[in-house]
């Protein structure tokens, strides 16, 4: 594989994001990350840039927490690179055993995020990861879930940030790192 600069990696990732107008409902411009997954160089570039950011900014990280469903595509790759574990935050009703959940609203609907009670430990230093930040509802609800579990959220990582929707403001004091902004 070619050795790429940071700028080249960001350009490659941006080229592999595909827009679909009016999906899943009228008025939504859906940003599809599937072409990134089909291109090993682009997927490696995403993992490289997240790894570099986390190593520089949060060297004490102990766990990567991925958001259902597309956070599961990037999170385990990053966790392996960092040599830490990966935990899942799922949409409600998918996890066995004792769980904790928080409801939230989306750019196009409503949902509830849930984690197993032993998914994160009190005091554990975590980073949250997802494919995209829109209104910030999903990451905000997940931050609330982490607070309830007494985990320490160091920051949030997303491939794409939709700036107009001001999701980073909704998440508040928890810093957000994005690779591609629209």
Ligand X SMILES: O=P(O)(O)OC[C@H]1O[C@H](OP(=O)(O)OP(=O)(O)O)[C@H](O)[C@@H]1O
Catalytic (active-site) positions: 70, 107
> Please, what's the b/e burial string for 16-32 (b: 16 or more CB within 10 A of its CB; e: otherwise)?
bbeeeeeeeeeeeeebe
Binding site for ligand ADE (CB under 6 A): 28-31, 107, 132, 134, 162
Stretch that binds ligand X, among 4-12, 64-72, 94-102, 145-153 (CB under 6 A): 64-72
Smallest CA-to-CA distance from 87 within 67, 113, 61 is with: 67
Based on DSSP, count helices (H) and strands (E) in the chain, helices before strands: 6, 9
Q: What are the tokens at 32?
A: 């599809």
**Residue from the set 107, 119, 146, 176 that interacts with ligand X by CB under 6 A:** 107
Whole-angstrom Cα distance, residue 170 to residue 48? Answer: 27
Smallest CA-to-CA distance from 106 within 137, 62, 139, 128 is with: 137
Q: Mask: binding to ligand X, 132-151, rule CB under 6 A, as x and -?
A: xxxxxxx-------------
Residues 153-172 that bind ligand X (CB under 6 A): 167
Residue 130's binding partner out of ligand ADE, ligand X, none, with CB under 5 to 8 Å set by partner kind: ligand X
Residue 30's binding partner out of ligand X, ligand ADE, none, with CB under 5 to 8 Å set by partner kind: ligand ADE
Residues of the shown chain interacting with ligand X in the complex, contacts defined by CB under 6 A: 67-70, 106-107, 111, 130-138, 167
């Amino acid at each position: 594989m070619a050795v790429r600069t940071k700028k080249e990696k960001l350009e490659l990732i941006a080229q592999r994001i595909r827009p679909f107008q009016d999906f899943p409902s009228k008025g939504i411009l859906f940003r599809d990350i599937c072409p990134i997954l089909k291109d090993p160089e682009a997927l490696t570039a995403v993992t490289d840039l997240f790894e570099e950011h986390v190593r520089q900014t949060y060297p004490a990280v102990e766990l990567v927490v991925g958001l259902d469903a597309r956070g599961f595509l990037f999170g385990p790759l990053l966790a392996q690179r960092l040599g830490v574990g990966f935990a899942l935050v799922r949409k409600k009703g998918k996890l066995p055993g004792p769980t904790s959940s928080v409801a939230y609203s989306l750019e196009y609907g409503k949902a509830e995020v849930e984690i197993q009670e032993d998914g994160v430990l009190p005091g554990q230093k975590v980073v949250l990861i997802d494919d995209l930040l829109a209104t910030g509802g999903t990451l905000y609800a997940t931050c609330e879930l982490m607070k309830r579990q007494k985990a320490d959220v160091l920051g949030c990582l997303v491939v794409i940030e939709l700036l107009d929707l001001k999701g980073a403001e909704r998440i508040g004091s928890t810093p957000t790192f994005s690779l591609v902004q629209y």
